[in-house]
Amino acid sequence: MTTAEPASPGPHWLGDALQVGLAVLLAFLLLPVGLTSVREGDTGSAWTVVLLAALCVLHALVAVAHRWPREAFAVGGLAMLALVAGPDLGGPTAVQAGGEYAPVLLPTCLVFFVLLYAVAAHAAQPWPTIALGVTLVGCLLTVVRLWDSEFVLPVSAMWVWRLFLTVSVLGGTAAAWALGRYRATRIAWIGALADRGAADERRRIAREMHDVVAHSLAVMVAQAEGGRMAVAASPERAPEILTSIATSGREALAEMRGLLGVLRDDSSPAPPQPTLADLPDLVEQVRAAGLRVDLATTGEPLRLPVLRELAAYRVVQEALTNVVKHAPRDSTATVALAWEPTGLGITISNDDDSPPAGDGQGRGLVGMRERIEAVGGSLVAGPVDGGWRVSARIPA
């Protein structure tokens, strides 16, 4: 299976411009020596044309290796093969070097490492691996071609030349390929981090939407059902009940607009997130839906970070919402906040065996646990003493 080509940061034109600049710089530094050596090398007109073309092609390929790494590497490999197979160069440069030498020793051949880096960095698998294998074969051909060269060192020191040759060829190949793979791996890792961050944000928004919508709709449904019976006995209460339902709907819409504004990257300020100070209002809202709720606080309250206060509020909200949805209307729910020097303990229980968190298979319990664990806390939910209890622990 192949993977997608790693995406490069920044606009394409910038990468192309930098690549062209690198090609021009390398050509300015390396190409004149190679052109002069080939023209004066006494290799015959045919080989002179082939070798000159190979040198120019290698430098030209640097300019396009960023955009077409596989094609550039393939053509560059053929150009290198011509330089490996070409006859030894003579002329003035050979005299200065101490003897005739193979064209593959011209400085331009270093450009091939740039092409190898490009295919390792920018091409999708399996092309980097194929390129490495092809380059190692080329290394073997180069070492064989230069094994008995004597233009620099005397025969008595030939082992030094052979060691230097082997280490240089293999070391350059390994360095270029490894740097390319490092770049590809780094970009893929950054992309994975971005994807994970986006997934975490989607889960966070999903939890917020679930908490807001589920709570508001549950309260509104409970108020509507209770109001239907209350209005039959006391018609004068209809405006009060309808006003309560409308208030719950407006609050839900305001919170949803804030969340959707975040999704749209809206510049308008989002509404403030609820905190533990808003719990009494939440309890009153649930009581208005017809559920008896007791709120008790023990210990000296601490000031928790914003995200931890939001997590505590949402846990209470979700648990009470599920009591409204699943427990009988004559049930009683208890919300107990136990402040300690090390954090806050939250217990939401009801006196019926219908679970505040639903059946434990939906998003309610999962969302509560994810929210609490995200701030370093823990959550336990289950039946106890003929009822159902949700217990959460949030560190200070």
**Over the stretch 199-254, which tens digit does the pLDDT of each residue have?**
776 777 776 676 666 666 766 776 676 666 666 667 776 777 677 777 777 776 77
For residue 312, give both structure tokens: 């505590």
The DSSP-derived string for 149-198 is --SSS-GGGHHHHHHHHHHHHHHHHHHHHHHHHHHHHHHHHHHHHHHHHH
- Is residue 393 within 8 A of residue 387, CB to CB? The reply is no
The whole-number pLDDT of residue 244 equals 72
Q: Chunked in runs of 10, what are the mean pLDDT values of the chain (396 residues)?
A: 45 70 89 87 86 92 91 93 88 75 88 93 91 93 82 62 87 93 89 77 70 68 68 70 73 68 57 83 82 89 86 88 77 90 90 53 71 88 82 90
The whole-number pLDDT of residue 182 equals 93
The whole-number pLDDT of residue 153 equals 53
Q: What backbone phi and psi angles, to 5 degrees, belong to 264? A: -85, 0
The whole-number pLDDT of residue 223 equals 67
The single-letter code of the amino acid at 64 is: V
- The burial class, CB within 10 Å (0-12 / 13-18 / 19+), for 90 is middle
